[in-house]
Amino acid sequence: MHLAQQILFILLAAVAIWIFAKKVSFIRRNINMGRDEQFTGNSSERWRNTLLMAFGQKRMFDKPFVGLMHFIIYAGFVIINIEILEIILDGIFGTHRLFAPFLGGFYGFVINFFEILAFGVLSVCVAFLIRRNVMRVGRLNMRELNGWPRSDANLILTFEIVLMTLFLTMNATDKALQLKGAEHYLQTGDFVVSGFLTPLFENFSVNTLIAIERTCWWLHIAGIFVFLNYLPYSKHLHIVTAFPNTYYARLDPQAKMQNMPEIQREVLYAMQPETIPTDAPAEEHKRFGAKDVMDLSWKNLLDAYTCTECGRCTEACPANKTGKLLSPRKVMMDTRDRMEEIGNKRDKNNGTFEDDGKTLLYDYITTEELWACTSCQACVQACPVLINPLHIINQLKRNLALEESKQPAEWNGMYSNIENNFAPWKFSPDERANWAFEMNS
């Protein structure tokens, strides 16, 4: 019987890992469709960002109470899953609580620590479900979350509650079997949380308790494998991508925008014609800004896959507060959805993507959303995992202005003045400094 369970477990684990690896490869190909962008140097600052933002959840504590709850659910779920190592080894070797004989009394302490965390995760998940569906916190119930995004959040919270309940029930029945002296169930000390549930099972027979304990064990590990393969389809992928995303975050001052050398050179030539090289080769036209995800950088695309959909960026956005359509969270979600669409069509066409007549700009993100952005950086400052929605927004706006000459009509006069007068104002270049004369009088 043990051999059959071992074979079944190994097959289950192999299938789960294979499916997960296949989806990870799909996501990697999607991110790599972005253009190259270099992020090198200052590794100490990058590791500092990773430790503070990804591990330490620093920006989550801008809202202390919610930050604490998120830290409990994040750290608790990650640490508890260390226990999976023992479950996996038990499944492979057909043992039960493999580490208990080696750790002695310390084993009980470790399990109790896991149980406290499991109870914390369970409690916080219930609280988050209430915040989303009963209290209906504003940023968690905006229009871009209608449909699957809202269901995804509720599903994952419910899933974690079920996993933690299975873990505690498994331990409670295990303790009941220890008290009855059942074979293979070693004494591991009192369980600090599931011990309160043990009296509920004290009148059950040994065979019934074993059936319940084994069922919880199988459902728990199967649930972990299901969660592993659900993760890449969910916003909770940020559990994994937050670490590389914070490491490769841009280290320039937050408000610094990336100028285009081609445009800077044209301005220089206009102001100083003598600097134009006489033998300068004609340059091929390159697309200014971005129209689709392929025009964005791989870091922009990693940002999109890292979005937690927490809505802090949109909550902080002054344009959104005034009723404009702009939502930085939606920009990131749209970018991810467009990547997924292209990736699926590419894979169906033997690795080649044929133009489908759609683009990120227009088909996903409208010009009305883009022109509502004031580039104030509020969304960048608010993101707990250092995502930069503004970088994508600015790339799309550049495409509109420089490639298609589509910008608000009010801007055309300013553009004309800059081109002719080298300033936004309608003054002759020879007269634009006259205002300073009064300072000498």
CATH number where 130 lies = 1.20.950
Q: How far apart are CA 324 and CA 350, in angstroms?
A: 41
Model pLDDT, residue 128: 95
Same domain, yes or no, for 18 and 123?
A: yes
CB 191 within 8 A of CB 198: yes
Model pLDDT, residue 256: 83
In this structure, is residue 434 part of a structural domain? no
Same domain, yes or no, for 269 and 231?
A: no
For residue 355, what are the CA distances in angstroms to 288, 341, 349, 397? 19, 12, 12, 22
For residue 339, what are the CA distances in angstroms to 37, 139, 291, 301? 18, 24, 13, 8
In this structure, is residue 439 part of a structural domain? no
In this structure, is residue 386 part of a structural domain? yes
Least confident of 96-100, 302-306, 390-394, 430-434: 430-434
In this structure, is residue 93 part of a structural domain? yes
In this structure, is residue 254 part of a structural domain? no
Please tell me what DSSP assigns to residue 36. P
Task: Return the CATH number at 338.
Answer: 1.10.1060
- Calculate mean pLDDT across residues 436-440: 77
Higher local confidence (pLDDT), 126 or 266? 126
In this structure, is residue 33 part of a structural domain? no
Same domain, yes or no, for 64 and 152?
A: yes
Contacts of residue 322, defined as CB under 8 A and 6 or more positions apart, other chains included, come to none
Same domain, yes or no, for 270 and 176?
A: no
pLDDT at residue 1 tops 60: no
In this structure, is residue 80 part of a structural domain? yes
Same domain, yes or no, for 7 and 147?
A: yes
Same domain, yes or no, for 271 and 376?
A: yes
Model pLDDT, residue 375: 94
Model pLDDT, residue 282: 60
Same domain, yes or no, for 19 and 61?
A: yes
Q: How far apart are CA 275 and CA 267, in angstroms?
A: 11
Same domain, yes or no, for 316 and 228?
A: no
Same domain, yes or no, for 7 and 84?
A: yes
Q: What is the per-residue pLDDT across 30-70, written as a single tens digit (0 to 9) for each?
A: 999 999 998 888 899 999 999 999 989 999 998 899 999 99
**Total domains, the chain:** 2
Same domain, yes or no, for 216 and 142?
A: yes
- The pTM score is 0.88
pLDDT at residue 281 tops 90: no
In this structure, is residue 242 part of a structural domain? no
Residue range of the domain that includes 14: 2-23+44-236
CB 322 within 8 A of CB 389: no
pLDDT at residue 228 tops 60: yes
Same domain, yes or no, for 83 and 17?
A: yes
pLDDT at residue 279 tops 70: no
Same domain, yes or no, for 200 and 293?
A: no
Model pLDDT, residue 399: 94
- The token duo for 438 is 């009064």
Q: How far apart are CA 366 and CA 23, in angstroms?
A: 30
